Amino acid sequence: MSMFCFQCEQTAGGKACTKMGVCGKTPEVSNKQDELTCALVGLARAAKDKSSAEADRLMMEGLFATVTNVNFDGNRIDALKARVEAEKNRLGGAENLRLKDLWTGDEDIVSLRSTLLLGLRGMAAYAWHAYTLGKQNEKVTKWFYKGMRALGEERTVEEWLDLLMEFGMINLECMALLDEANTSAYGHPVPVKVSTIVEKGPFIVVSGHDLHDLKMLLEQTRDKGVNIYTHGEMLPAHGYPELKKYSHLKGNFGTAWQNQQKEFQNVPGAFLFTTNCLMPPKDTYSDRVFTTAVVGYPGLVHIETKEDGTKDFTPVIEKALELGGYKEDQVFTGINGGTELMTGFARNNVLGVADKVIDAVKSGAIRHFFLVGGCDGAKPGRNYYTEFVKLAPKDTVILTLACGKFRFNDLDLGTIGGLPRIMDMGQCNDAYSAIQVALALSRAFDCDVNELPLTLVLSWYEQKAVCILLTLLALGLKNIYIGPSVPAFFSSNVLKVLVDKFGLTPISTPEADLKAILGE
């Protein structure tokens, strides 16, 4: 059976996975995800003048389920598609997009259409997290329908580019919605040091991005003698006052997500995946991995959402108690040997010391800011980001976000004027925080954001990076560095437009890029 998927950075040969996904996705599941996508276009068509709460939910859930490393379970994809078809018919019915029209056609149009679809998949993840906290934005919700219908419509290259910029601004609204949902539920993050030591006794490791799932689990494990550790993109949870108040939220387990198959082996604790990035589990630990929400993998126990939106994590808790944890405290380190990770430098915090930042820039103590952020991945070329941060001169500050920071977040780079030289702003969606800081600084310095001493050095892996990149371009940010490779779904002509119009720059070497940025 063949397949076609080129949606993530690790796609086979830098072109497309056509026989088997490098991520472990089978052709069968990949084709089912394509069918689901085409059915969602049908739903968007049927819901043109009369959407419904169920259609809204399905649009987010269906798109999110097709994000890389989220759902490998063909039965769950089939079940989602059946719900999409039923709702589409209830709304009056419409034709689905033809499968052959999803990834084929004129190379540039396929590239632009795919960029929109992949951006929509990324935005669906953010909208979903806000939705689980009871927040929706009508403009954002409506745009899912508009964007999905657009996949079946004819447009010129110029019109596609305009639509992508419109989408970028909508995604900014979606990130603002999630920022509001998270901060209103859990407070504004504060800087915290997070330990990488796992204490003796039963424990659960929570991976993914869903703070709502983490909060429910923290409540259900209160006084049960089970400690909770974050993993990957869940690390920034430690900064939120309403989450950090739980004394059994102890620390962070593991380094980068792509090391899970090695780091989870024979660990005497349970693992809960709330979103991506799940890798096919090995036999040495698959009996202790649980999924929830849109995540799925054949054979793993899935924690369902009840009618009232709550979940019963008893199976996860019982597994942690059965495994018993380590007999003694275990000292783990980050990839550079550190045992403490700093997080919690979200917009409120950074803007709270804006005067200090502005003075430090004016006095020359801070020469430049780098936002080194984005996803991590398995390719050796990603070492670029560790080296870049290590080589950045001492009078520069590194802002970071998303999981790419596991390449360097255990480094101690010291301080400038009382400010740490590395500041972790949070998860990938906290790009919103970084944008707010950049806009506030541009106002303070009375200059265009592109005139700030700030350079974005991004690493991408999956589709949330696509929607964030489109937002940054729509906001007019120029000269962004991107790596470790250029997306396979950018045709050469589309890439040329992005390079010419926005100065999008593929990374080269840390030395050469630092030299070019700092004009040395």
Site for ligand SF4 in 10-49 (CB under 6 A): 10-11, 17, 21-23, 25, 30
Helices (H) then strands (E): counts for the chain: 17, 18
* Smallest separation (angstroms) from ligand SF4 to the CB of 23: 3
Residue 7 or 37: the one with the smaller Cβ distance to ligand SF4 is 7
Contact stretch for ligand SF4 (CB under 6 A) within 4-12, 44-52, 250-258, 346-354 = 4-12
Instruction: Scan for tokens 């669906």, then name that residue.
Output: 124
**How many residues lie near ligand SF4 (CB under 6 A)?**
13
Contact stretch for ligand SF4 (CB under 6 A) within 7-15, 223-231, 362-370, 410-418 = 7-15
Q: Which of 2, 8, 174, 433 binds ligand SF4 (CB under 6 A)?
A: 8
* Smallest separation (angstroms) from ligand SF4 to the CB of 175: 22
Of 437, 434, 414, give the one whose Cα is nearest residue 374: 434
Residue 14 or 506: the one with the smaller Cβ distance to ligand SF4 is 14
Of 382, 384, 383, 414, give the one whose Cα is nearest residue 398: 414
Residue 30 or 396: the one with the smaller Cβ distance to ligand SF4 is 30
* Smallest separation (angstroms) from ligand SF4 to the CB of 20: 8
Does position 382 bind ligand SF4 by CB under 6 A? no
Does position 378 bind ligand SF4 by CB under 6 A? no
Measured in degrees and rounded to the nearest 5, phi and psi for residue 370 equal: -120, 130
Residue 264 or 460: the one with the smaller Cβ distance to ligand SF4 is 460
Site for ligand SF4 in 43-102 (CB under 6 A): 68
Residue 25 or 407: the one with the smaller Cβ distance to ligand SF4 is 25
CB 368 within 8 A of CB 518: yes
Does position 152 bind ligand SF4 by CB under 6 A? no
Of 402, 405, 413, give the one whose Cα is nearest residue 386: 405
Burial class (CB in 10 A: 0-12, 13-18, 19+), 511: exposed
Q: Could you give the angle at which helices 138-150 and 27-46 cross, rounded to 10 degrees?
A: 110
Reported as type and span, the H/E element at residue 341 is strand 340-343
Does position 325 bind ligand SF4 by CB under 6 A? no
Buried/exposed 314-348: b ≥16 CB within 10 Å, e otherwise: eebbebbbebebbeeeeebebbbeeebbbbbbbbb
Reported as type and span, the H/E element at residue 194 is strand 192-195
By CB under 6 A, name the binding residues for ligand SF4.
Answer: 5-8, 10-11, 17, 21-23, 25, 30, 68
